[in-house]
Amino acid sequence: MVAQRSEPAREVPRPPPFPRRAGALVAGYAVSSYGNYLNLIALSLFTYEVTGSGLGLGLLMALRLFAGFLAGLAAGALAARVGRRRLMLIADVCQAAAMVVLALCVRSASEGLLVAVVIVLGAGNTFFTVALRSAVPVMVGSGARVRANGRLATARSLATVAGFASAAPVIGLAGHGAAFAVNAASFLVSAAVIFFLRLPTDEDPTDEDPTDKYEADKHRTDEATSLPQGSVQPNHVAVRRIWTAVPALLLGLILLRGVDALASSSHNVALPVVAALRAPQNPAAFMTQFWASWAVGTLVAHQLLKGRQASRMEGRWGVRALAGGTCAMSLCFVLAFTGIETPLLLMAIVCLAGIADGFTEIVYTSRLQAAPDRERSRLFGLSATAETCGFALGMVTAAAALDRWTALTVVGVFHGLAFCGAAVLLLISLNGRRKAGRKPA
């Protein structure tokens, strides 16, 4: 009897190793994010003290968002002109300088000084975020960008909880000036990490044409333009055909993220109201538990996606994953505001919302990073503009709606819009797949 020869098992491709130096970049980003969220509370309270009215606070917060909106329009061109690394350094240093000035002038601050500070913070945050996200594939390699995006999302989530939780003790014990100084120091830490690491952030123009690389990657996915067998197509024609298909898809993804930001503003506005009703003696503790559960969910999302091949994000799987994750996130946030009495069940639902939120952010960021280097910064600038616009519009309309409707109604309506937008994108993606399957071979 002849022994059968067993075929060797096919090895599952593993993602490339994550650069060690990039871990320091994630740590620096976590520190600056912590300072941002600490300052979000401190600056809001301080602005209310200086202006003496909710209208003044609202106008200055709107100005901050508007500065970020305008910065998003110019971020792509500016990153291409000065370089992403230099743009991140400039953004960090300018924000640190603004916070140092505010910390020194805390006793004599005027409305004019606050206007200047919020403009610097709004524009600086957008410039830094656009430059960082578009530089990730260059800093860690295209194959490791999913893991990098997951670590950055996790770092920001943990920083959110730490910043919100420590705001009250820091302000109560040391005052607003100390909180502003901590924020300034966090920006300087981030700038120092970027300066001394010297990670590459822009592709060398003498390297392989990124458009050709992008074309090759696209042909490995089901989004690629199918050609008859044996046909030969000139390179410039192939690139043109790809670019005529990409804008519509990316525009749909970017618009969905804008609607997602609009929906997210509703639970950010409604949460303090619910916290005051559910835990009148200590609403801050309720909010901390809420955001901590959400942060745990984003950490789980990173663990689920860190082994996923980056090329998967570029095909229809990425579109369906983003749409499905947005639907799940919206449903979970609506459930969280239905008045669930059991704390563990509430925290579990919020954790699921965090998983879906982190999942969609990682998939979306990785998808945009698949674009050619020379287009990536412009795409992220457009994305920042859409997200800022959606969040600003949502903050205003959700706050006004809370005067007439319950928190559940407001959150349900806003997240219902995100759910419907994601469902439409999902149906379009599935319909496109069915049409592709009916094409003759």
Asked whether residue 377 is assigned to any structural domain, the reply reads yes
In the chain, DSSP finds a helix count (H) and a strand count (E) of 13, 0
Supply φ then ψ for residue 410, to 5 degrees.
Answer: -65, -50
Supply φ then ψ for residue 149, to 5 degrees.
Answer: -65, -35
Number of domains making up the chain: 2
Domain end position, chosen among 164, 180, 201 = 201
Type of residue numbered 385: T
Q: Which of 147, 146, 190 is nearest to 33 (CA)?
A: 190
Q: What is the pLDDT of residue 285?
A: 82
Judgement on whether residues 402 and 287 belong to the same structural domain of the protein: yes
The pTM score is 0.79
Written as one string, the DSSP assignment of 94-161 is HHHHHHHHHHHTTTS--HHHHHHHHHHHHHHHHHHHHHHHHHHHHHH-GGGHHHHHHHHHHHHHHHHH
Q: What is the pLDDT of residue 347?
A: 94
Name the 3-class secondary structure at 346: helix
Residues 6+ apart with CB under 8 A from 398: 265, 266, 269, 270, 410, 414
Calpha distance 202→200 (Å, rounded): 6
**Where in the sequence is the domain holding 269, given as residue range(s)?**
248-441
Neighbours of 5 (CB within 10 A): 5
pLDDT tens-digit series, residues 297-335: 998 998 887 766 666 666 667 788 889 999 999 999 999
Judgement on whether residues 323 and 386 belong to the same structural domain of the protein: yes
Calpha distance 409→401 (Å, rounded): 9
Judgement on whether residues 172 and 261 belong to the same structural domain of the protein: no
Lowest-pLDDT range, 16-30, 279-293, 406-420? 16-30
Q: Is the pLDDT of residue 189 over 90?
A: yes
Answer yes or no: are the C-beta atoms of 37 and 159 closer than 8 Å.
Answer: yes
Answer yes or no: are the C-beta atoms of 184 and 105 closer than 8 Å.
Answer: no
Q: What is the pLDDT of residue 269?
A: 87
pLDDT tens-digit series, residues 77-136: 899 899 999 999 999 999 999 999 999 998 888 889 999 999 999 999 999 999 999 999
Q: What is the mean pLDDT of residues 268-272?
A: 88
Judgement on whether residues 303 and 438 belong to the same structural domain of the protein: yes
Asked whether residue 421 is assigned to any structural domain, the reply reads yes
Asked whether residue 228 is assigned to any structural domain, the reply reads no
Judgement on whether residues 176 and 44 belong to the same structural domain of the protein: yes
Q: Is the pLDDT of residue 403 over 60?
A: yes
Calpha distance 360→321 (Å, rounded): 7
Q: Which two tokens stand for residue 304?
A: 């689920």
Q: What is the pLDDT of residue 17?
A: 58
Calpha distance 96→94 (Å, rounded): 5
Half-sphere exposure (Cβ direction) of 209: Cα atoms closer than 13 Å: 7
Q: Which two tokens stand for residue 185?
A: 């120091």
Q: What is the CA radius of gyration of the chain?
A: 23
Helices (H), 210-282: 210-219, 235-278
Q: Which two tokens stand for residue 296?
A: 């745990």
pLDDT tens-digit series, residues 168-188: 888 888 889 999 999 999 999
Q: Which two tokens stand for residue 377?
A: 């910064």
Q: Which of 247, 112, 131 is nearest to 194 (CA)?
A: 131
Answer yes or no: are the C-beta atoms of 312 and 383 closer than 8 Å.
Answer: no
Asked whether residue 15 is assigned to any structural domain, the reply reads no
Asked whether residue 441 is assigned to any structural domain, the reply reads yes
Helices (H), 52-110: 54-82, 84-104
Domain end position, chosen among 146, 181, 201 = 201
Asked whether residue 53 is assigned to any structural domain, the reply reads yes
CATH number at residue 252: 1.20.1250.20
